[in-house]
Amino acid sequence: MTRRGFALLGRGIKEQRFLFWVSVLGSILFGFMTVADARVLGWATDHVIRPSFARGDVTEGALVTAIALFMAVAILRALGIVARRLIGGIVYYRLVAEYRRRVTRQYLSLPMSWHHRHPTGQLLSNANADVEGAWAVFMPLPMAIGVIAMLVAAVAEMVRADLVLTLVGLVVFPALFIINVFYQRWLSPKVAHAQSLRGSVSAVAHESFDGALVVKSLGRETDETDRFRDVSHELRDANIAVGRIRSLFDPLLEALPNIGILLVVVLGVGRVASGAADPGDVVAVAYLFTVVAFPVRAIGWVLGELPRSVVSWERVESVLQERGSMPYGTRTLPGTGPVRLGVEDLTFRFDDADRDVLRHISLDVEPGRVVAVVGATGSGKSTLTSLLTRLVDPQSGRITVDGVDVRDLTHDELARVIAVVPQGTFLFDDSVRENITLGADYSDDEVWSALRTVQAADFVAALPRGLDSELGERGTTLSGGQRQRLSLARALVRHPRLLVMDDATSAVDPEVEQRILKALAAQTSDGEGPTVLVVAYRKATIALADEVVFLDEGAIAARGSHEELVAASPDYSNLVNAYDQAREALS
């Protein structure tokens, strides 16, 4: 644990080298001035206090000198404290900020298959609590390193004052380090368990917040509260176990230097009585032992914090060392307007799955065409849309845009060319404008144009502040259909050359949906809009497509126009006519 801890300290010091050593210099200044305080105290005892008692009055010059010395030392020590605490805090917060960014960038670079295996709550804990815990040791570290200089100076000053008293007092130090060894070995596994439970609590809380509608609508608040209570109590008990160990060792760490002081005072009285030592030396040594107690405690804080930092760092490092990031190419696509989409012998299965979700999919979509993908639940439609936008990559086969493999495109070019509107609509707690532009530099005219295409301009204009209206968390102030239309406008404002819609209008009125798709089809026929691939269920929507691709158990079962597939494929006909057939059976 100590070896891993010092490796972590070396990493942090290397990354914030200049500021860290400035804070250490401030701590060293504080340490030397604290020792100087003892020298001034001893001088004042022998040259001001004792002569004053002996004569019955105070020498004004000696008193002024003592006050001036005390003030000078105090000012310098205060400057050391400011440098130590302020700059040391900057080092800590810079490390936390930097590694939060690194963890977040790693999340963005890892493929969706990795995210599927890791709960959101755990990821939040890695980026928040674990990063903070990893670098928490840097709060006391500059002070601990700086006060080592204080410790050396204090021991040297004690030896100068009285060697015998120094040797007597220092017998407590071997005991101190032995206690720290046992402290770390006992504390480390309990800290590791507590840090792991932080991720569990975060995961349960995230699920509870995300599933609030389900929990409340089904009346399961009590059960969900109990679930959160159980894991919270487990974390509480783990933290209490850590606290118990600290409550046992902290008093020992505090008491040992005080025991040394008592030994010095008891022995010092006898040495003064025998004439072997001066009272000023005894006072100086006793005071220096109170000073020595501080660096000992500071070192103890570092050693006590080290197990938690190591455990937290290992959790952070496990994320940073993950492999499987999705590499991007260097190619771009010239020109504007709709693109040709090609899918060549595409096969995909999820990690640890026992069968392929998609099998040997081959598809060619001409520029400006509208293609509907139809299939029963579990046929692979949503997986196909994820592959088209490179949220995941296939095990075999490839996807091309204007003949270029999407894996050869740069990240920015892929986002510029292809836009996806997923099944689940997510809106941020922000204005309508920011939810559509996501901070990108689009004009209000472009935003309104996208809103008109998706039939959302009227309801946005009717909002209290138009584009500046706040939508609330997840867009709770809007209906499901309104949220879907804003999500679609978010994609269209980017002028994509290929638009992939994964059942993106399921909550929209059928009449409104027809107007949206007709507006998109009109744009593509003019050569301005994108090539469109839409996962559809409604028969009227499917009928608007230039071509229909029927997926069955991960393979293309049939292709053609809607009318052709109704006539040639009984499975397709049964699927798209299921609602009408059920209604006729009930009438």
pLDDT the model gives residue 71: 86
pLDDT the model gives residue 169: 63
pLDDT the model gives residue 274: 76
The whole-chain average pLDDT of the chain stands at 79
Beta strand 396-401 pairing with 341-348: antiparallel
Beta strand 547-552 pairing with 370-375: parallel
Neighbours of 196 (CB within 10 A): 16
Place of tokens 């480390």: 188
Q: How far is 348 from 355, CA to CA, in rounded Å?
A: 9
Has residue 122 got a pLDDT over 70? yes
Q: Report helix, strand or coil for 54.
A: helix
Q: Report the DSSP beta bridge partners of residue 376.
A: none
Quick one: CA torsion of 235, 238, 243, 249, rounded to 10 degrees? -160
CATH topology of domain 2-320: ABC transporter transmembrane region fold (1.20.1560)
Place of tokens 């997926």: 551
Closest CA to 419 of 530, 513, 527, 507: 530
Which tokens is 364 given? 């060619």
Q: How far is 524 from 367, CA to CA, in rounded Å?
A: 8
Has residue 442 got a pLDDT over 80? yes
Instruction: Count Cα atoms within 13 angstroms, Cβ side, for 351.
Output: 11
**Beta carbons within 8 Å of 578's beta carbon, 6+ residues apart:** none
What phi-psi label fits residue 533: left (phi over 0), alpha (psi between -120 and 50 degrees) or beta?
A: beta
Has residue 440 got a pLDDT over 80? yes
Q: What is the CA radius of gyration of the chain?
A: 36
pLDDT the model gives residue 325: 66
**Beta carbons within 8 Å of 473's beta carbon, 6+ residues apart:** 429
Q: Report helix, strand or coil for 359.
A: strand
Has residue 586 got a pLDDT over 60? no
Domain boundaries defined on the chain: 2-320, 341-586
Burial bucket for residue 52 (CB in 10 Å: 0-12, 13-18, 19+):
middle
Regarding predicted confidence, which is higher, 135 or 283?
135
Q: How far is 462 from 451, CA to CA, in rounded Å?
A: 13
Instruction: Count Cα atoms within 13 angstroms, Cβ side, for 317.
Output: 12
pLDDT the model gives residue 518: 77
Mean pLDDT, residues 291-305 taken together: 67
Q: Which of 235-239, 389-393, 476-480, 554-558 has the lowest mean pLDDT?
A: 476-480
Has residue 147 got a pLDDT over 80? no
CATH topology of domain 341-586: Rossmann fold (3.40.50)
Sheet containing 396-401, strands listed edge to edge, beginning at the edge strand earlier in sequence = 358-365, 341-348, 396-401, 404-405
pLDDT digits (tens, 9 = 90+) for 20-76: 888 888 888 887 787 777 777 767 777 777 777 766 666 777 777 778 888 888 888
pLDDT the model gives residue 101: 92
pLDDT digits (tens, 9 = 90+) for 347-387: 888 776 678 888 888 888 888 888 888 888 888 888 888 88
What are the C-alpha distances in Å from 537 to residues 54, 111, 218, 422, 541?
A: 105, 29, 28, 15, 7
> What are the two backbone dihedrals, phi and then psi, of residue 526, each rounded to the nearest 5 degrees?
-85, -5
Q: How far is 441 from 454, CA to CA, in rounded Å?
A: 20
pLDDT-derived band at 579 (thresholds 50, 70, 90) equals low
Q: Tell me the helix, strand and coil percentages in the chain, rounded to 5.
A: 70, 10, 20
Residues in the chain: 587
pLDDT digits (tens, 9 = 90+) for 485-535: 888 888 888 888 888 888 776 667 777 777 777 777 776 665 567 888 888
Q: How far is 259 from 265, CA to CA, in rounded Å?
A: 10
Beta strand 341-348 pairing with 555-560: unpaired
Q: How far is 539 from 522, CA to CA, in rounded Å?
A: 20
Print burial letters for 376-415: b (CB count within 10 Å at least 16), e (below 16): eeebbbbbbbbbbbbbbbbeebbbbbbebebbbbeeebbe
Sheet containing 498-502, strands listed edge to edge, beginning at the edge strand earlier in sequence = 418-421, 498-502, 531-535, 370-375, 547-552, 555-560
Neighbours of 260 (CB within 10 A): 25
Contact 529, 537 (CB under 8 A): no
Which tokens is 312 given? 């937290």
Neighbours of 551 (CB within 10 A): 22
Helix (H) or strand (E) holding 233: helix 221-274
Q: Report helix, strand or coil for 571.
A: helix
pLDDT the model gives residue 95: 92
pLDDT the model gives residue 94: 92
> What are the two backbone dihedrals, phi and then psi, of residue 463, each rounded to the nearest 5 degrees?
-70, 155
Q: Report the DSSP beta bridge partners of residue 576.
A: none
pLDDT-derived band at 304 (thresholds 50, 70, 90) equals low
